[in-house]
Amino acid sequence: VIPVQVRIGDVDFETSLFPKDGGYLLPIKDVVRKHQGIAPDDGVTVEMTVRL
């Protein structure tokens, strides 16, 4: 698990990257998905910083 700070559109939040199938899964909080109008399978632009 890798803790990260994420920005999608005008929303900042903290979450963690989870390893999955040789890559990483970035969970997006429900409140962020609803605010940004993100549906499953949508592509999104993400700014991300690893929190040390």
Residue 1 makes CB contacts below 8 A (sequence gap 6+) with 16, 17, 18, 19
- In one letter, which amino acid is 47? E
Residue 8 DSSP one-character state: E
Identify the domain containing residue 37 by its residue range: 2-50
pLDDT digit string, tens, across residues 2-43: 999 999 999 999 999 999 999 999 999 999 999 999 998 999
pLDDT value of position 39: 94
Number of domains in the chain: 1
pLDDT value of position 32: 94
